[in-house]
Amino acid sequence: MNIETAKIFCDLVEMKNFSRTAEVHGISQSAVSQQLAQLEMDHKVQLINRKKRPIELTAAGQIFYQACKDILERYDRLNSELAALKQSTCKIHLAAIFSIGMHTLQPYIQKFMSVYPDVNLAVEYNSAKDIYEKLLRGVIDIGVVAIPRRDRNLEIFPFENEPLVLACAPSHPLANRKTVDIHEIQGEKFIAFSEGVPTRRFIDDILNRYHITVRYVMEFDNTETIKRAVEINAGISILPSPTLRNELANGTLRALEFSNEPLFRPTGIIVRKDKSRSKAAQYLIELLRKE
């Protein structure tokens, strides 16, 4: 006897009707009769008195019915417990570069946790190089990086296009402006990302496109240190505007939009092509991705 047969027998007893039981289970009435006959043959007892209308259980049938109900209740409880265990132990490991993780990513994380509060979501901040390496080794499940690079083993989905602005100290001559022509930063002292950081290459390409030469006076691998150097007026920088919210609110930095054209830093979600994902992980990717 299997679980489905037990369900059919219990429904037959409770509905007292072969045709209605067949309809509920999407099978023929004769199939219900055959399964009942097979049960009686297997256990060498008569379970239902077919001469009575509506049908009645025999003494053996009553015992069999109670046992089936107990089995089905235990089976449902088992499934519920397994489902709860699976949900509570589901873990998603996400890594983002620091500037995205600290600023742009937070509202998405909050929304995800409101939908999947029991999922163990581990978020860490790494360099782009480390994120690619960990993702390919299977250490993390999802990566979020700036200027994502193509890799045959990875899928890339668009995330936010972060506006790029000119950041300067309140004491800088440009500080009281709302916009700036990019040519005005020609020859300025510039606080840059370290060479090898994807955003550095991206900004260098923008400057080269406009034939702009700046004086690199400091180089750092993260936005937080760059901002501290700009705050003391050691130079200007081009940074994603979401990373400046706190400094703009506190008045420690100024941000100017470029009048030449809107400039954006593309960011993306990266995942391994060959790795299976849980329902929760797939939801998180869909929540993050932008078309």
Query: Would you tell me how many other CB atoms lie within 10 Å of the CB of residue 78?
Result: 10
Structural domain boundaries, residue 66: 3-87
Q: DSSP secondary structure string, 90-123?
A: -EEEEEE-HHIIIIISHHHHHHHHHH-TTSEEEE
Q: What is the CATH number of the domain that holds 192?
A: 3.40.190.10
Q: From 44, 69, 87, give the residue that closes a domain.
A: 87
* Beta carbons of 271 and 288 less than 8 angstroms apart: no
pLDDT tens over the chain, length 291 residues: 689 999 999 999 998 889 989 998 899 999 999 999 999 999 999 999 888 888 889 999 999 999 999 999 898 888 877 776 665 568 899 999 999 998 899 999 999 999 998 889 999 999 999 999 999 998 999 999 999 999 899 999 999 999 999 999 999 999 999 999 999 999 999 999 999 899 999 999 999 999 999 999 999 999 999 999 999 999 999 999 999 999 999 999 999 999 999 999 999 999 999 888 888 999 999 999 975
Strands 142-146 and 264-272: antiparallel
pLDDT at 118: 85
- Report the domain count for the chain: 3
Q: What is the CATH number of the domain that holds 31?
A: 1.10.10.10
Nearest to 232 by CA among 216, 252, 255: 252
* 213 and 83 part of one domain: no
pLDDT at 51: 80
* 195 and 122 part of one domain: no
* 73 and 34 part of one domain: yes
* 77 and 13 part of one domain: yes
* 56 and 123 part of one domain: no
* Beta carbons of 104 and 239 less than 8 angstroms apart: no
Residue type, 147: I
